[in-house]
Amino acid sequence: MNNFNQDNGMQKRMLIMTLVVFIFFIAYEFLVLKPQQEEKLKQQEIAKQQKQNAAPDVATGDSMVQNAPTKDSMSKSINALSSKSIGKADIITTITTAKNSIEIDKLGRVAQVTLLEPKYKDEEGNQIKLFEADQLRPLEVRFANTDINNKAFEVAYTTTSSSVDATKQPQTFTLTQNIDGLILTKDFTVYPDGHYDLKVKTSQKEQFFITNGFRPNVLADMYADHGAYVKLNDGTMELTSDEKLEKVKSYTGIKFVSNFDRYYATVIYNFKNSMQISLMPDNNDNPQSFVHALGEIDFSGYMGPKNFNDLKALNPELTDVIEYGWFTFIAKPMFTFLQFVHSYVGNWGWTIVVLTIIIKLILYPLSYKGMVSMQKLKDLAPKMKEIQVKYKDDKQKQSMHMMELYKKHGANPMGGCLPLLLQIPVFFAIYRVLLNSIELKGAEWILWIHDLAEMDPYFILPILMGASMFIQQKITPNTMQDEMQKKIFQMLPVIFTFFFLWFPAGLTLYWFVNNVFTIAQQYSINKIFERQRAAKK
């Protein structure tokens, strides 16, 4: 049983710990860049040169074990790709769907995907293109046999159609490559929504690998994860971030593999027949994904925005392509609920306001108890001080009388911390939703807020949030005795305002509205206690 000092100290430590955890998360997400020093890069490059080129075998449920592609085959394709940029003359098939334009080059790869929907434009007003020059392209094929692989990059494909119009209904076409008598065919079915089915087959039973390409490079920043994401048959997900893959990593029993940036992904999936894949590092330790095949393989693919409804329409499991980080278990259902509210509200900004109110209502009973406990502790402060002085030499009696005082008046020294503790996972779940949901990209709210996924350009919301935090702090009972702790807490509105300057406007809006309702709640409780005190006089 703890004495008063211990109880009060525990409360302070819990609150300080909560704030430290909160600030740590903010610093991790927003202030801690992921640079790698030049010396470290040199050491990594030396280590790479010393690695064995051959990848480890992959154990499968089949009787035949398939090996991962070797670095020899990788370097061949990279040289072929980087030695000459892909020009218009290299494009043999152009596919137009209702949502994108897909260009296939003479090596049977997806040279470029251009998003056609008006909302997908870059800062210069041009339609967004998913891929940059000199990067691994989707649907590139590598052969395990090095001789065949080398020849494959010297032989152009032929196509049954140079222009495919799939804007209104599915269309089919075939690519063919003749490698000294070894015939490789790619049979495509392309759909108006932009996804495709593909069957790849060789005339002889050769082992080959096909990739979904390097991730789109439209928006890869420090705030969101980007790299490769796989889903296994047991439902588990595994993320391999860029610059984190030091050696080949292989999987069996895969439902999909996605290489992605903040808002866009290129995905290969098969929910009927599981796949075997290998992730191989490029020269910067970024993951490159290869699907294993022996003689033939079929799967489906998607290259475009990680829009929840679009992915769900293809297959509900594909919504797992959207990665929310540590708080996925809260963030994913929260986004689903946000979409439900948005279907009625019609504006994402006001949807966030409504969500905040709903969360406050759900947490109201606990918040109310916490605020009441703080008020009671404030009223009991003189009596607690008396007990502390009276039993200063007998800690056991001091603790006993303190607990009796708490019990008699229904006060809980930890009650004020619990609502704040609960807010932390909710806050970061909303942060992840706003950060990774392309639906909020370009979503306007009022006047100056033209994109809830980006920072407030005029810092109005962060300043309002800081002011509301200051007011909330002023009207909230404070039982702290230590002057240094008081000064630290008085600085928190300024510190948090600084952090929120670069937060997405939608997240700042959530925290500001949350503060406003907390102020209203605290003000009402303060008035109730004032009336009770007046009645006792």
Could you report the per-residue pLDDT of 345-377, keeping only the tens digit for each?
A: 999 999 999 999 998 888 888 777 777 777 777
User: pLDDT tens digits for 170-222?
Assistant: 999 999 999 999 999 999 999 999 999 999 999 999 999 999 999 998 876 66
Q: How confident is the model at residue 35 (pLDDT cuts 50, 70, 90)?
A: very low
Task: Read off the pLDDT band of 99 (50, 70, 90).
Answer: very high
Structure confidence at residue 453 (pLDDT): 81
Angle, helix 505-536 to helix 348-390, in steps of 10 degrees? 40
* 196-205 exposure pattern, b = at least 16 Cβ within 10 A, e = fewer: bbbebebeee
Structure token digits, residue 218: 């439209």
Nearest 10 degrees: Cα torsion 319, 433, 421, 239 = 50
Q: Copy the structure tokens of residue 412.
A: 């809980």
pLDDT given for residue 55 in this prediction: 34
Is the per-residue pLDDT at 480 higher than 70?
no
Cα angle, residue 159 at apex, residues 158 and 164 outer, rounded to 5°: 155
- Residue 259 in this model has a pLDDT that exceeds 90: yes
Q: How far is CA 101 from CA 175, 194, 205, in A?
A: 17, 8, 33
Structural element, H or E, at residue 197: strand 196-202
Cβ neighbours around 211 below 10 Å, total: 27
Residue 56 scores a pLDDT above 50: no
Q: Bridge-partner residues for 87, per DSSP?
A: none
Q: Which residues pair with 267 in a beta bridge?
A: 258, 302
- Asked if pLDDT for residue 70 goes beyond 80, the answer is no
What pLDDT does residue 483 have?
66
Closest CA to 274 of 237, 214, 316, 231: 231
**What pLDDT is stored for residue 53 in this prediction?**
35
Q: Domain segments of the chain: what residues?
A: 4-17+358-532, 85-322
**CATH number given to 85-322:** 2.70.98
Joined together, the tokens standing for residue 169 give 């209904």
pLDDT value of position 222: 65
Q: Please tell me the predicted confidence (pLDDT) of residue 19.
A: 56
Q: Is the pLDDT of residue 8 over 50?
A: no
C-alpha 519/C-alpha 522 separation (Å) is 5
**High-pLDDT (> 90) share of the chain, %:** 46
Residue the block writes with tokens 């006792």: 536
| pLDDT band, residue 78 (cuts 50/70/90) | very low
d(CA 404, CA 431): 42
- Of residues 221 and 439, more confidence is placed in 439
Name the nearest CA neighbour of 426 among 323, 307, 329. 329
Question: Picking from 39-48, 120-129, 267-276, 292-301, which range would have the lowest pLDDT averaged per residue?
Answer: 39-48
The residue among 289, 253, 288, 286 whose CA lies nearest residue 271 is 253
CB contact at 8 A, 498 and 463: no
CA distance 286 to 242: 4
Among 57-61, 167-171, 237-241, 272-276, where is mean pLDDT lowest? 57-61
At residue 481, does pLDDT exceed 60?
no
The residue among 79 and 522 whose pLDDT is bigger is 522
pLDDT at 418: 64
The answer to whether the beta carbons of residues 157 and 265 sit under 8 Å apart is no
Higher pLDDT: 151 or 22? It is 151
- The residues pairing with 250 across neighbouring beta strands, listed in sequence order, are 278
Identify the pLDDT of residue 83.
Answer: 40
Q: How many CB atoms lie within 10 A of CB 86?
A: 19
377 versus 318: the higher-pLDDT residue is: 318
The reported pTM is 0.77
pLDDT(69) > 50:
yes
Give the model confidence (pLDDT) of 490-499 as tens digits.
Answer: 788 888 898 8
Q: Rounded distance, CA 398 to CA 243, Å?
A: 57
pLDDT band per the 50, 70, 90 thresholds, residue 471 = very high
For the record, the structure tokens of 116 come out as 């056609």
Highest mean pLDDT of the ranges 228-232, 354-358, 401-405, 440-444: 228-232
Cβ burial 4-38 (10 Å sphere, 16+ → b, else e): bbebbeebbebbeebbeebeebbeebbeeeeeeee
